[in-house]
Structure 1
Amino acid sequence: MKVQEIITMLKNEQDGDELYSILIDCGKNFDLNKEQKDKLKYNILEYCNHEDTIVRSAAIRVLCFYWGMPEFREKAFEIFANEEEDDETRSDALMSWANTYRKTNNRKVVEFLIQVLQDKNKDMMIRSGAYRHIFNVSFIEPKDWPKRLDWDNFDAEIDWNLLNSILQEAI
């Protein structure tokens, strides 16, 4: 698919669900090279401010999660930090932000994600996401990540020893 075709599809679509699908296709299904992504990225960035929450969520996921573009990590963090935003979009923004630090073992990022995990005032989707994202940022291979936690026993099942180990090795 050509960049101009994608831009036209996005601009001509008014339905939030359809926009979401087009955006996710940009991230997952359209075979785009770096040059094409570079031509599209600012068009997609505009949708981070769309009125529909699922469109905002999809746009930041494309830029930072699927495409891993660190130049948009501040936008992802801004969406996450906006407490007026719905929890699902905030959770997707946190995932997207953390993904731009994939396999860096960045101490400040790990510390921040642990703070989010510990904040029992945050929605469980956000807290459980923070837990998973710590492993994404760490050097631990996915096969060695803990299993998904049971939400009913979430806090009791957190492997604090593993998190402390990751934090000690963080750079």
Structure 2
Amino acid sequence: MKYRQDCRVNIARLKEKLASEDIDDIYDALIDIGKTDCYELMEDVRRFLQHLEPDLQRAAIMVLGIYWAVPDFKHELVPLMSKDVDDDVRATALINWVGYYAGTKDPAVLLRLNDLLRDKTEDIFVRMEALRGLFRVAQSGIDDTLMRQLERAPSYAEFESLIPWELVDKLIEKAS
């Protein structure tokens, strides 16, 4: 209960930090909000989903998707995964979106992740998170060594060659 009382006491201070010109102050305020249950500030946090600063968008995604796990937020993540959004924001949105479907084996989600993974015009980190997401949604073990290799791939061709396409095909076949 004390944590909740601290939230009420700090709402004015947090709102003041959100109104700051300093990106770091705003980012810190968003993360502080996420660590509390200051749901009164949910709309204030949502405002940053459309902010021009990608780090603030990512912080807002983390608050709503990870810290608070707002159930309907999974639908708000979909537009944040479009190609006209910053790649880091897209990857963060994708990671959070997958979190809502982890272990569900949802065929529509698996197919969407497969499309992202196979899109060679897609950002390499978005593709990597799509692969990781496929494993998480399909409840198939993630090979941490493989994921580290993908993260360190020196070229796009090397990244492409490391993807376990046979396994991906099997996961998608099961989903269909």
Class of the TM-score when normalised by the shorter of the 2 chains:
0.7 to 0.9
**Identity of aligned pairs, percent?**
29
The answer on 1:163 being equivalent to 2:163 is no
**Match for residue 16 of structure 2 among 8, 12, 15:** 12
Which residue number in structure 2 is paired with residue 147 of structure 1? 146
The answer to whether the Cα contact below 8 Å between 1:69 and 1:100 also exists between their aligned partners in 2 is no
Question: Deviations 1:69-99 (Å, cap 9, x if unpaired)?
Answer: 3301121111111x33211111111112221
- Identify which range, 84-93 or 60-69, moves more after superposition: 60-69
The answer to whether the Cα contact below 8 Å between 2:146 and 2:162 also exists between their aligned partners in 1 is no
Question: Deviations 1:44-67 (Å, cap 9, x if unpaired)?
Answer: 222212232211111012212343
Equivalent AA in structure 2 for residue 136 of structure 1 = R
The answer to whether the Cα contact below 8 Å between 2:74 and 2:100 also exists between their aligned partners in 1 is yes
Question: Any gaps of 5 or more consecutive residues in structure 1?
Answer: none
Number of positions where the alignment pairs a residue of Structure 1 with one of Structure 2: 163
1 CA distance for matches of 2:175 and 2:58?
29
Equivalent AA in structure 2 for residue 162 of structure 1 = L
SS in 1 for 2:101: coil
1 CA distance for matches of 2:145 and 2:171?
13
Which residue number in structure 1 is paired with residue 97 of structure 2? 97
Query: Where in structure 1 do 4 or more consecutive aligned residues deviate above 6 Å?
Result: none
Cα RMSD after superposing both structures = 2.4
Which residue number in structure 1 is paired with residue 54 of structure 2? 53
Aligned-pair CA distance for 1:164: 2.4
Structure showing greater radius of gyration is 2
Equivalent AA in structure 2 for residue 147 of structure 1 = L
The answer on 1:122 being equivalent to 2:122 is yes
2 CA distance for matches of 1:65 and 1:71?
13
The answer on 1:23 being equivalent to 2:27 is no
2 CA distance for matches of 1:9 and 1:147?
44
Aligned-pair CA distance for 1:38: 4.4
1 CA distance for matches of 2:81 and 2:9?
30
Question: Deviations 1:106-146 (Å, cap 9, x if unpaired)?
Answer: 1111110110111111111211111112122221245x566
Which residue number in structure 2 is paired with residue 65 of structure 1? 66
Question: Any gaps of 5 or more consecutive residues in structure 2?
Answer: none
Equivalent AA in structure 1 for residue 61 of structure 2 = I
State the TM-score, normalizing by the size of structure 1.
0.80
The answer to whether the Cα contact below 8 Å between 1:98 and 1:137 also exists between their aligned partners in 2 is yes
1 CA distance for matches of 2:80 and 2:11?
23
